[in-house]
Amino acid sequence: MGKVCAADALLQQLVNTEVPTMSEPPRSHVRAFIKNIGQQLRTGVATFESIGHAPVAGGDDVVAAYIRGLKDRIPDIKDADSYVRGSAPMMVAGSNLPLLYVSTAIRSLAPKGPDLPSLISRNTALAQAYQAAQPCQGRLPLKAHSPTPTPSG
């Protein structure tokens, strides 16, 4: 439990990264920033992959959901990097498009599938382990985004 909470805490730091979407730093700085975000995503994937088999039913699914959520954002970051390498203007309507894209990508980071709060709510022993684990204390783990309802016709 502590490993998942520690990895979640690192992910939350990434989600809360300040991205300067209203400024126009040199392309080389934007590209370095984007590459750093990409590396943090890959490190997050590796961190969750290294957690190993969960001793609690559903735990492996939660870890896999974090990994899917991280991997789903990697192409977005690669797209932003491709944009910066091109010659199109970075500033459009007062926003730095590649950085806005990065900001949107990291703000939407979340487990893709079952999340830790739902697993804890279904398992009393796990809830107790969560409360006892030092890295989990005082933290609310990231929740999976609710799927957007599709309009019925």
Residue 149 has pLDDT above 50, yes or no: no
Phi/psi zone of residue 116: left (φ > 0), alpha (ψ -120 to 50 degrees), beta?
alpha
pLDDT of residue 151: 42
Indicate if the alpha-carbon torsion angle 85, 111, 14, 106 is positive or negative.
Answer: positive
Question: Measured between alpha carbons, how far is residue 152 from residues 128, 146, 149 in Å?
Answer: 41, 17, 9
Q: Where are the domains of the chain?
A: 2-136
For the chain, give the number of residues: 153
Closest by CA to 119, choosing from 51, 68, 59, is 59
- Give per-residue pLDDT as tens, 123-134: 887 888 888 889
**What's the rounded Cα separation, in Å, for the pair 114 and 61?**
6
- Give per-residue pLDDT as tens, 15-35: 999 999 999 999 999 999 999
| Overall pTM > 0.85 | yes
